[in-house]
Amino acid sequence: MGRLDGKVAVITGAASGIGGATALRFAQEGAMVVVADLNEIGGKDVLEQCIAMGGRARFQRADVVSEADVKALLTRTVKAFGRLDVVFNNAGIGGAIGPIDETSVEDWDRTQAVLLRSVFLGMKHAVPLLRKSGGGSIISTASVAGLRAGAGPHAYSAAKAAVVNLTRSVSLEVAKDNIRVNCICPGGINTPLVSNRLGGVDAAAQLLGALQPVQRSGTPDDIANVALFLASDESTFVTGAAMVVDGGFTAGGGNLFRSEGMAIPTGFSGPSFEYSAGAK
């Protein structure tokens, strides 16, 4: 018997990395999964893997910055599967990079939209549907950069700190509805978003593994394991939490973003699939 049998879960940013690993893990544990992403090629590949392991799943192209897209994503999920139990607001980018006095307003605003407004929209449109289901779980991807200075770029760090506090405030509002609201704060996780910009998977693993007491880079499965716990009935007494999954980084690791050997240019770091296709 799976830990998510009978549950319906929506995961944004599910075409690769943390979202992709979580979609596969949820499907393996019996959930009906909606794989949501702008990356149709990657999203459909994850969908096929979910189905191949016997899971029920569908792909939905969605721009998490668009309120119309987010609302349609969740309402179509209910239409397809009859209910909604779990929403994982995971889609993300690196965003604006560089010194504060060289950061454009446009890059700042785009970063906040993808990393913060998307979480707000996911919560806003999930809550009424979760109430109809009798409760459920909202999970969002925050970051250690939202807890500790020096773990990420300025705009990214500000957005992730806001995700942590939004998680806490919304959890208080909807606890009476049996809706749990939590976020996960990953440390150095070796995803395409990171490895594409650090010289590949092996180079990223070496760099990230040297930054925290647990001497390896984190993997998408490390985060998927925590997301599974938060989505399952094993976490019914957990809400308003920021679950740190960082190999001990926040307890006493190095400087994740400004470490020697991590050459980060000024500019904007978009989705991993755009970068791999040649976008800067």
**First-residue to last-residue Cα distance in the chain:** 45
- 275 a catalytic residue: no
Round to whole Å and give the CA distance between 52 and 49: 5
CA distances from 227 to 116, 136, 137, 138, 261 (A): 19, 13, 10, 10, 31
At 59, give phi and psi (nearest 5°).
-105, 140
Query: Which among 156, 249, 257, 268 is annotated as catalytic?
Result: 156
CA distances from 252 to 21, 59, 89, 212, 246 (A): 27, 40, 28, 7, 11
Round to whole Å and give the CA distance between 255 and 211: 7
Residue tagged 């995971």 (tokens): 90
Catalytic residue numbers, as ranges: 156
